[in-house]
Amino acid sequence: MHKRSKLKNGARVITIPMRSTKTVTVLVIIGTGSKNENEKNRGISHFLEHMFFKGTKKRPTKLDISKELDSVGGSFNAFTGKEQTGFYAKVGSKHCDLALDVISDMLLNSKFTAEDIESERGTVIEELNMFLDNPIMRIPFLFEEILYQNYSMGWDIGGTKKTINSARRKDFINYYKKYYTGDNIVIAVAGNFNEKTIENKINQYFGLINKTKSKRQIKAYDKQDKPNILLKHKKTDQTHLCLGVRGYNETHKDRYILNILGIILGGNMSSRLYMSVVEKGIAYYIYTSLENYKNVGYLAAQTGVNNKKCLDAIKIIIDEYKKAREEKISSEEIKRAKDYLKGKMTIALESSDSVAGFAANQEIATRKILTLEEKFAKIDAVTAEGLQRVARDIFVNNKLNLALIGPFKDKKKFEKILRF
C-alpha cells in the first residue's frame, strides 16, 4: 500500500514499502518534456537530462557520480519524454541513503558549466545521429510529427543539430527554473526501507527544491479533417511504417477499452495483426502501440516489411481496423486480452523500480494513484459492445495517419488505399 505526502516546497512524495524485496528504488519524475520547448530551444529537455550527470559541487565529475552507485552494484539512469523527465537509482536496501543522496545532489546541485555543456554537446548529437539512422526508433516520432504537425508535441525529443549546437548555459538555467519546481515534481521510493524514517530522509535530501510555481504547460494540437501521409525517402531494403489513428488522452473514460483493443489488434504474438502479417511471412515484427498524453492520444501499428510488400501490409492493417469496427469481438478473444494485460502488470510489479514507476507516473499525470485491483476492475468492465463503440469512433478517415520511411517519394499510391 502506498503512502502519499507533500514537502513544504510542494513536491509530492510517494512511499511504497515492499518487504518481499531486498532492493530500493528512488525515482524522481518532473512534469516536463519536449512538449514545453520552443523553436529556439528544441532538445533542451533531453540535453538538460544529460547535464545532470556531468558533475555537482560534491561530485565534480561524471565519474564521481557513477562510481558511487557502480561500487554498490546499483543501476541508475534517466529518461526524457514529451511530457515527463525522470531520474532513478535502484540499489540494495542498505544503500537507500546513497541513492537518495546521489539523485538529490544531481537535481539540486548540478553545475551546468560551459565546459561540460560543450563536451556533452558532441555526445548528444551522436545520440541524435544514431536515432536518425535507425528507422525502427525514428518511425514512431515521425508518426507523432504528422499527428501534431508543427506544434512542439510533434518534434523529436532529441531536438535538431542546429538547436543543440546553439544551446548555452543560460538556456539550461532558464528551463530548469521554469519547470524543475516543487509543484511539478514527484518523488517515489519503493522497496525495502525503514518506514519510520523514510519521510524525514526524503525531506532531508529534497527539501531544498525550488518552491516557486512552474510555468504553464503547453497544450498539444489534435485536429484533422482527412487522412494524412508523411513519407521520408530513404534508400532501404525494408520499409518501416506506423499506421494508426487519433485516440484518447490519459483521463478519458474509454482509455481502458482502447488498451484492450490495442492488445487484440497487435499486443502480442497471438494478436490479429501478428497472425495476419508475421505468420504469413510479410514482416518479421508488428505491434500496436498506444499513447495517452495529457490532452491527446493515439493508437498505431508499427512494422517493417519488404519494400515490395509495403502496400500489402498497409491494406492488411486497415482491414483489421475495419473488422474491429464492423464485427463484435468474441468473448474468448476479449478474455485472453484482459488476462494478458493483467498478467503483464502483475509480473512487472514484482520489482521495486516498476512499483515506483507505476505510482509516480500516475501521480505526475493525474494526481491520483489507482491500485492494481482498481485497474483490474476497469479492465474487467470492458465489453464487446464497448470495444465496437470505440472502434467505430476512432477508425474513421479523418483520424487516419501513415508515417513511412523507405524508398518512396510519390504519395498517390498510398492515398488510394489509405481509407476505410
Annotated catalytic residues are 49
Type of residue at 292: N
Backbone angles phi, psi at 273, to 5 degrees: -70, -35
Looking at the DSSP assignment, which residues form a beta bridge with residue 284?
Answer: none
d(CA 137, CA 119): 25
CB atoms within 10 A of CB 316: 23
Note whether 132 and 405 are within 8 A (CB).
no
In sequence order, the 6+-apart residues with CB closer than 8 A to the CB of 377 are: none
Backbone angles phi, psi at 351, to 5 degrees: -110, 150
Note whether 366 and 255 are within 8 A (CB).
no
The C-alpha cell at 367 is 494526481
- The string of DSSP letters for 8-37 reads TTS-EEEEEE-TT-SEEEEEEEES--GGG-
**What CA–CA distances, in Å, run from 230 to 46, 135, 325?**
25, 14, 25
Decide: helix, strand or coil at residue 191. Answer: strand
CA 413 to chain centre: 33
